[in-house]
Amino acid sequence: MILDPDKPIQGLNDSKQLDEETREELAPKIRDRALAWAVASASAAEIDRINILQASRLAMKRAVESLPVAADYLLVDATTVDLPLPQEALIKGDARCRSIAAASILAKTARDTKLKELDVTYPGYGFAKNKGYGAPDHLAALRKLGPTPEHRKTFAPVRNLLQPSLFKEAGR
């Protein structure tokens, strides 16, 4: 995310502090006014293989590499990116830095769009409504319908469904 200092965007904040409607209003303004932006992701399989933090770092790297304008310095929320660029990890960066806030808004709205698509592809899980694994009705759907290819196999409720208990009684 490279913001244009000549085109300020009012209302930028940590995406977690904004409601969905506000994020949806800000996202097109960000895309329109930014000098450059890109959103990237990591798959559930990648998260399972390298863990959530490393997958987040990989997605950020992909986003930076996808920018139509080369970045010369990175401000990153609480971590670093495996790129040969000068960079600074800002704790609570999405609350302290406008460009990190803008990037978090685009990432969150892209994720929400993906979850709405998954809701159509995999009805019954409530992806569009729940926006996450922890919701009770999503966990109930996992137990009833089983995991999809989009579920992380290392997420405990999915892992528990896929692996028989190691502590079954001897009678089986």
C-alpha neighbours within 13 Å on the C-beta side of residue 84? 0
Check: CB of residue 27 under 8 Å from CB of residue 109.
yes
What would the pLDDT profile of 11-60 be if each residue is shown by its tens digit?
Answer: 999 999 999 999 999 999 999 999 999 999 999 999 999 999 999 999 99
Pick 1-121's CATH classification: 3.30.70.240, 3.20.20.220, 3.30.420.10, 2.60.120.380.
3.30.420.10
Query: Reduced to 3 states, what is the DSSP secondary structure of residue 14?
Result: coil
| Residue boundaries of the structural domains of the chain | 1-121, 122-164
What do you get for the CA distance between the two ends of the chain, in Å? Answer: 56
Where the chain has pLDDT below 50, the residues are 166-167, 169-172
User: What is the reported pLDDT for 170?
Assistant: 47
Residue-level pLDDT at 26 = 98
pLDDT at 171: 45
pLDDT value at residue 35 = 97
Q: What is the CA radius of gyration of the chain?
A: 19
pLDDT at 34: 98
